[in-house]
Chains A and B, each alone.
Chain A
């Protein structure tokens, strides 16, 4: 148990569906992250929220939409995805962004787009 909980753990969705991934951290952290992990590719940082403000958007397609309603919760809204978006989506948190802070990861949400 890392203190970062992701739901659902597995999601299968069609290309026309709308779904959301949810992340909750119980560590009192101020920064939250979404990463994409695909087979044979480096970990890709998608979005960062620091003190509820989005500080990073790594040229992510608009079919991915993050939401951070408070410092404990982070969502990733998904719509009209493509098969190449199938991957493991990891949520993470840290005390603040960067510096020497350890990043704590959830177990991930496996997404399959059909």
Chain B
């Protein structure tokens, strides 16, 4: 079965420090990759996505992610975080499964930015 693994359930980090949230997926076919963010008491919203082309994808709020096909990874990074980045981050993979295209979400990583 296809899966998306977010290796860290929680990541505490100090304000203005860099952060990396890790995501690995299992798939042997072409995939589309996404990062979504969920702020407290809100739904998920798209941060960035990789469809094709350059493996480095830039998103909103200064986030970027790099698609690494050989390592089946799509890690999210930000060089300097703010308190307002405190949220839950979800990696998602869309690929062809039995019956058509499906999107699978990881379990989420809670980023906690401390002053």
Contacts and interface: CB of A to CB of B under 8 A. Distances in A.
Interface of A: 2, 4, 41-43, 45, 55-56, 90, 92, 97-108
The 8 A-B pairs at the shortest CB distance, nearest first, are namely A98-B101, A105-B43, A42-B107, A100-B32, A100-B51, A43-B105, A105-B44, A107-B43
Contact of A42 (B41, B99, B106): B106
Contacts of A107: 41-43
Contacts of B99: 55
A90 B44 contact: yes
The residue in A42, A45, A100, A104 that gathers the most chain B C-beta atoms within 10 A of its C-beta is: A100
Interface residues of B, number: 25
Given A102-B34, A104-B45, A108-B42, 13 more contacts: A2-B45, A42-B106, A98-B94, A98-B95, A99-B32, A100-B32, A100-B94, A102-B49, A103-B92, A103-B103, A105-B44, A106-B43, A107-B43
Nearest to B92: A103
Grouping DSSP codes into helix (H, G, I), strand (E, B) and loop, the A interface class, with mixed when no group exceeds half, is: loop
A108 B39 CA distance: 12
Interface of B: 32, 34, 36, 41-46, 49, 51, 90, 92, 94-96, 99-103, 105-108
Contacts of A101: 94
A106 B38 CA distance: 11
B94 A99 contact: yes
Given A99-B32, A105-B43, A105-B44, A42 B94 contact: no
Contacts of A90: 43-44
B51 to A, nearest CB: 4
A56 to B, nearest CB: 8
A4 B102 CA distance: 20
Contacts of B94: 98-101
A95 B46 CA distance: 14
